[in-house]
Structure 1
Amino acid sequence: MKPFFKSIFDYHHYFNQKLIELFLEHSGSISKRTIPLFSHCLNAHQIWNARILKTDSFGVHQLHALKNCKDIDKTNYVDTLKIIDTFDFEETIKYTNSKGDNFENTVKDILFHIANHFTHHKGQLISDLRQQEIEPPVTDYIFYKR
Structure 2
Amino acid sequence: MKAFFRDIFEFHHHFNQKLAGQLLDLEEKLPERTVSLFSHSLNAHQIWNARIIRKKTLGVHQLHTLEECKRIDRENYDETLKILDERELDETIVYTNSKGDKFSNSIREILFHIANHHSHHRGQIVSDIRLAGVAPIVTDYIFYKR
TM-score after normalising by structure 1: 0.98
Distance 2:68 2:122 in 1: 18
Q: Which residue of 2 aligns with 1:116?
A: 116
Q: Name structure 1 gaps, 5 residues minimum.
A: none
Offset at residue 14 of structure 1 (A):
0.3
Q: Which residue of 2 aligns with 1:103?
A: 103
Offset at residue 27 of structure 1 (A):
1.2
Q: Which residue of 2 aligns with 1:20?
A: 20
Q: Name structure 2 gaps, 5 residues minimum.
A: none
TM-score after normalising by structure 2: 0.98
Offset at residue 7 of structure 1 (A):
0.3
Distance 2:75 2:24 in 1: 19
Deviates more, 1:66-75 or 1:45-54: 66-75
Offset at residue 31 of structure 1 (A):
1.4
Distance 1:141 1:116 in 2: 12
Aligned residues: 146
Q: Which residue of 2 aligns with 1:74?
A: 74
Offset at residue 67 of structure 1 (A):
1.9
Distance 1:67 1:111 in 2: 24
Q: Which digits, 9 at most, give the CA deviation of each residue in 1:94-130, with x for residues without a partner?
A: 0000000000000000000000000111111111100
The alignment partner of 2:93 has SS state of strand
Distance 1:99 1:133 in 2: 38
Structural RMSD (CA): 0.6
Identity of aligned residues (%): 59
Distance 1:98 1:84 in 2: 24
Q: Is the counterpart of residue 138 in structure 1 residue 141 in structure 2?
A: no
Deviation beyond 3 Å, 4+ runs, structure 1: none
Q: Which residue of 1 aligns with 2:45?
A: 45
Q: Which residue of 2 aligns with 1:2?
A: 2
